[in-house]
């Protein structure tokens, strides 16, 4: 074979290897781009599932100054400092969650009747309880006693997921409708007896009970995650009540702390039957 032929053959081999390597790089780049896109898409899907409300309902733009005054005079002035709680209280349109005839009084420093013997708690108590349960963006919350849906909405502004149970069916349906209109996709409301909790969604980082009970339902303690917090008004439904924060440590040990005297409507349902039967 001549030197020319040998050189020509070597050049062809090099060219072939170069072409193969070139297509390998293109494939690698395409694979990497696709993988990055998939990761980004997955991240976006994950974020979409836990995104906060868009606040595009007309009521979010109404009575903004009333909410700012409420936060300044009723909440900050009494020592609430958690920025997430303060922001949530400034955002949620409380006037949309009360009966139309009570809208004018929505931001007053007092509870307001919502029908069926129930009330929406005064703004300070809602803020106090929310700060006490130490919510963050990853919190999974169980609320016992949806009522108007206001406390659930406040929690929904901060937490990842909120599950709320209401014993009175009419209130449950109204709250579900209103919260849906406001865009709280991370808040789920159902009609039922909160005494039994929500086993299918347990365990919870936080459980908040918005009605007075003489004792803590055992199933709720079971559904509280180790390291979690449960808060409730503890005491006689028609006598002295104390807001109590209960924590479960990593080993399952239960500890309680009295916070302040309060007055809530009584918890109804199975807890009444258990009390009459002496079951605790």
Report the alpha-carbon angle 132-76-58, nearest 5: 90
Residue 98: name the closest of 62, 149, 42, 63 by CA: 149
Question: Contact 94/126 with Cβ under 8 angstroms?
Answer: no
Report how far residue 170's alpha carbon sits from residue 66's, in angstroms, rounded to the nearest whole number: 29
Report how far residue 189's alpha carbon sits from residue 49's, in angstroms, rounded to the nearest whole number: 17
Q: In what order do the strands lie in the sheet with 161-166?
A: 187-191, 161-166, 140-144, 204-209, 224-235, 241-248, 254-262
- Give catalytic status of residue 121 as yes or no: yes
Q: Of residues 121, 139, 148, 164, which has the active-site annotation?
A: 121
As annotated, the active-site residues are 121
């Amino acid at each position: 074979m001549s030197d020319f032929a040998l050189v020509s053959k070597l050049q062809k081999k090099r060219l072939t290897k170069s072409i193969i390597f070139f297509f390998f790089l293109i494939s690698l780049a395409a694979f990497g781009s696709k993988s990055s896109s998939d990761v980004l898409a997955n991240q976006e899907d994950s974020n979409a599932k836990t995104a906060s409300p868009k606040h595009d309902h007309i009521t979010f733009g109404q009575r903004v100054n009333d909410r700012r005054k409420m936060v300044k005079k009723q909440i900050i002035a009494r020592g609430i400092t958690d920025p997430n709680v303060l922001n949530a209280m400034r955002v949620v349109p409380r006037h949309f969650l009360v009966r139309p005839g009570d809208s004018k009084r929505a931001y007053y420093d007092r509870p307001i009747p919502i029908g069926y013997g129930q009330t929406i708690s005064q703004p300070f108590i809602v803020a106090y309880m929310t700060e006490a349960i130490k919510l963050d963006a990853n919190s999974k919350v169980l609320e016992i006693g949806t009522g108007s849906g206001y406390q659930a909405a406040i929690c929904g502004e901060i937490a990842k997921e909120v599950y709320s149970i209401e014993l009175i069916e009419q209130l449950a349906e109204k709250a579900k409708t209103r919260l849906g209109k406001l865009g709280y996709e991370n808040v789920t409301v159902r009609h039922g007896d909160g005494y039994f909790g929500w086993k299918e969604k347990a365990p919870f980082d936080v459980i908040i009970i918005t009605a007075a009970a003489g004792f803590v339902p055992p199933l709720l303690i079971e559904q509280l995650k180790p390291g979690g917090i449960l808060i409730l008004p503890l005491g006689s439904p028609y006598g002295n009540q104390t807001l109590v924060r209960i924590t479960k440590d990593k080993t399952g040990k239960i500890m309680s702390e009295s916070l302040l005297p309060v007055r809530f409507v009584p918890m109804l349902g199975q807890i009444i039957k258990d009390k009459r039967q002496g079951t605790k």
